[in-house]
Amino acid sequence: MPDGRFESFTHLTAQNAPLYRQVMGAFVAAKRGFVVHLRPEDVHAALVPERPELDPGSVGDALAQLVEWGNLRADPDTSRVTTVEDFHRARFLYQLTPRGEAVERALEAYDEQLGRRGALQAVALSDIAEWLRNLLVLSSEHEPDPVRVGLLLRDLVGRCEELADNAQAFMGSLQRTIDLYDADIETFQAYKDRLVDYLERFVRDLLVTGAEIAQLLGALEQAGVERLLALSARRDAEDAAPGGDARDGGGEDPREQAFAASLAAWRERWLGLRRWFLSEPDRPSQAKLLRARARAAIPQLLAVVETLNERRSGRSDRAADFRTLARWFAQAPDDDALHRLWHVAFGLSPARHLSIDADTLAARIEQPVAAATPWPQAPPLEISPRLRRTGSYERRGRPNRVRSRAEERRALERLTARQVAETAAARARLHTGEPLRLSQLGELDPAAFGLFLTLLGDALGARRPGQREVVTTTADGSLRIRLAAFDGGGTAEIRTPDGVLRGPDHIVEITDLAPAAPAAAESAA
């Protein structure tokens, strides 16, 4: 190890690593109780409940070795010296060194991260929205309180980091759950139901609260969030210690240096918070990616359940068959059993690769011959004269007549034409040609309503926070929708055979950009 910097980690791979870890754990537990120094008998007493067979000599050797590696420091213990012999006898007090404490903290963080499952914290979204509202109120004040601003920003950034870390850990553990194929079916199905409900609830909260957070972030940037960041950075810089060289007057003011560094850090944190909830043209937001990942996990979970049900119902599963065969090989008592199992599973000894004529096949049906019958004891195999004469079973001459698929093609053509007509009718129904209110669209049939929902979703997805009008086109560029909000519109209702869609009334204009739109509309009519 270079220059001994990592020598304090040696006890993890040493021969008595469990004992060393327990000794270091005793020192960490003692420090939590504000005890700095421990004697060897104190360490032994702390380890005896877990290891009754441990003797004090082993503890002393472990302490000496940890001192050599730099995890502990040994100081002479003169508090109990009463005679000259006690003075010359080696007695030490042990305490954690900075390196040893750093190693234990790193190991604790490592164990915590490995066992972490994470969670999708819908409550954190509400907390973030509440703190943003409070910051928006402070931004409107002439002289905001720096203490409140600093505390709100720290809580806001810390909560967002916690939300991101927990979501990342949860999605990782969720993928490991999806990849689990050997679980008990009933247990997995019960867990699946709770997990799907949990994911749907979080996606719903992320969609609603995330949109509110995006609007609050935009409002804060318009109100001047830079002033709040500067207030918090100035408050952080008040505790900067003096520095610089005394011979040149101390150099630049350390508080100004600390202010510049703190302001840059707060700007970076705010940018990270903004990118978490606000999408950019070339960078989707982390909330959007998380929502898409959570939505994609639901059908994956259902696919795992379907696979488990197929296995339970007895449907063929090659992977499960090979795992069963592997267990049989592992449970075989001897090599002869292994060879017999291999012969049964993969052997090609029976002449199943040869073909026989109809008469021989009928005879075999009347008098079956076991596949394991040796060749000398089996009745002769009747082979076609064509094979004996030409060496091939293929019949020469005209090939068999090809079955006509004209009727099936006509059925597919009719189905395609009907689908094209329905799509053209839906496009013609939605083609407004002029701005209308959503409440003026009237009743829509299922095809037109499905196309309308797609257009509405594209428009709402393209609208930025604070934007009142948006114009966008579909992915194929055939339809364009313009959606504009207006004051006092009330609630719009769009009726369909399956129900009623209600929402805020908007001005909508849908234009069909396809060149063949009039002809398609006449064909559909």
Does residue 432 lie within any of the structural domains? yes
Give yes or no: residues 129 and 227 share one domain: yes
For residues 120-143, average pLDDT: 83
For residues 86-104, average pLDDT: 79
Give yes or no: residues 127 and 235 share one domain: yes
Q: What percent of the chain has pLDDT over 90?
A: 4
Q: Domain boundary at 97, 114, 131, which?
A: 114
Confidence of residue 149 (pLDDT cuts 50, 70, 90): confident
Alpha-carbon distance 172 to 183, whole Å? 18
Q: Is the pLDDT of residue 496 over 80?
A: yes
For residues 51-68, average pLDDT: 88
Q: Domain boundary at 372, 388, 404, which?
A: 388
For residues 418-434, average pLDDT: 82
The pLDDT, as a whole number, for residue 353 is 47
Q: Is the pLDDT of residue 348 over 80?
A: no
Highest-scoring range by mean pLDDT, 14-23, 382-391, 420-429: 14-23
What residues pair up with 502 in beta bridges, in sequence order?
493
What residues pair up with 20 in beta bridges, in sequence order?
none
Amino acid at 391: G
Q: Pick the residue with more confidence: 23 or 347? A: 23
Highest-scoring range by mean pLDDT, 56-70, 288-302, 482-496: 56-70
Determine contact, residues 357/380, Cβ cutoff 8 Å: no
Does residue 307 lie within any of the structural domains? no
The pLDDT, as a whole number, for residue 484 is 86
Q: Pick the residue with more confidence: 391 or 367? A: 367
Amino acid at 478: S
> Helix 40-47 vs helix 17-32: angle between axes, to the nearest 10 degrees?
100
Mean pLDDT for the chain overall: 78
The pLDDT, as a whole number, for residue 378 is 81
Confidence of residue 179 (pLDDT cuts 50, 70, 90): low
Determine contact, residues 519/440, Cβ cutoff 8 Å: no
Query: Domain of 207?
Result: 122-240+254-299
pLDDT digits (tens, 9 = 90+) for 196-210: 777 777 778 878 888
The pLDDT, as a whole number, for residue 522 is 46
Q: Pick the residue with more confidence: 274 or 247? A: 274
Give yes or no: residues 38 and 186 share one domain: no
> Helix 225-237 vs helix 185-223: angle between axes, to the nearest 10 degrees?
90
Q: Is the pLDDT of residue 313 over 70?
A: no
Does residue 314 lie within any of the structural domains? no
Q: Of 81, 83, 79, which Cα lies nearest the Cα of 37? A: 79
Cβ contacts of residue 250 below 8 Å, gap of 6+?
Answer: 242, 243, 244
The pLDDT, as a whole number, for residue 247 is 44
The pLDDT, as a whole number, for residue 316 is 56
The pLDDT, as a whole number, for residue 142 is 83
Give yes or no: residues 486 and 449 share one domain: yes
For residues 332-341, average pLDDT: 89
Give yes or no: residues 104 and 181 share one domain: no
- Structural domains counted in the chain: 4
Give yes or no: residues 175 and 293 share one domain: yes
CATH number at residue 95: 1.10.10.10
Give yes or no: residues 82 and 163 share one domain: no
Confidence of residue 414 (pLDDT cuts 50, 70, 90): very high
Confidence of residue 413 (pLDDT cuts 50, 70, 90): very high
Helix, strand, coil percentages for the chain (3-state, nearest 5): 60, 10, 30
Give yes or no: residues 127 and 269 share one domain: yes
Give yes or no: residues 381 and 445 share one domain: no
Does residue 311 lie within any of the structural domains? no
Cβ contacts of residue 182 below 8 Å, gap of 6+?
Answer: none
Widest pairwise Cα distance in the chain: 119
Give yes or no: residues 23 and 152 share one domain: no
Confidence of residue 237 (pLDDT cuts 50, 70, 90): confident
Does residue 381 lie within any of the structural domains? yes
Reported pTM: 0.42
Confidence of residue 243 (pLDDT cuts 50, 70, 90): low
Confidence of residue 80 (pLDDT cuts 50, 70, 90): low
Report the phi/psi class of residue 379: left, alpha or beta, with left for phi > 0 and alpha for psi in -120 to 50: beta
The first and second tokens of residue 125, run together, are 């979204």
The residue written with tokens 């709770």 in the block is 194
> Helix 254-277 vs helix 225-237: angle between axes, to the nearest 10 degrees?
140
Give yes or no: residues 159 and 271 share one domain: yes
Does residue 344 lie within any of the structural domains? no
Q: Of 297, 319, 306, which Cα lies nearest the Cα of 175? A: 297
The pLDDT, as a whole number, for residue 387 is 61
Highest-scoring range by mean pLDDT, 64-68, 74-78, 180-184, 445-449: 64-68
Confidence of residue 2 (pLDDT cuts 50, 70, 90): very low
Q: Is the pLDDT of residue 121 over 80?
A: no
- Count of all residues that appear for the chain in the document: 525
Q: Is the pLDDT of residue 475 over 80?
A: no
The pLDDT, as a whole number, for residue 361 is 73
Does residue 325 lie within any of the structural domains? no
Q: Domain boundary at 98, 114, 130, which?
A: 114
DSSP state of 3: G
Give yes or no: residues 13 and 93 share one domain: yes
The pLDDT, as a whole number, for residue 180 is 53
For residues 308-316, average pLDDT: 62
The first and second tokens of residue 123, run together, are 């409550």
Residue 167 to residues 116, 217, 286, 316, Cα–Cα distance (Å): 11, 21, 10, 37
Q: Are strands 499-504 and 491-496 parallel, antiparallel or unpaired?
A: antiparallel
The pLDDT, as a whole number, for residue 112 is 64
Does residue 460 lie within any of the structural domains? yes
User: Vertex 127, ends 125 and 128: CA angle to 5°?
Assistant: 65
Determine contact, residues 195/176, Cβ cutoff 8 Å: no
In this structure, how many other beta carbons lie within 10 angstroms of the beta carbon of residue 361? Answer: 11
The pLDDT, as a whole number, for residue 126 is 84
Residue 325 to residues 47, 329, 331, 334, Cα–Cα distance (Å): 48, 6, 10, 16
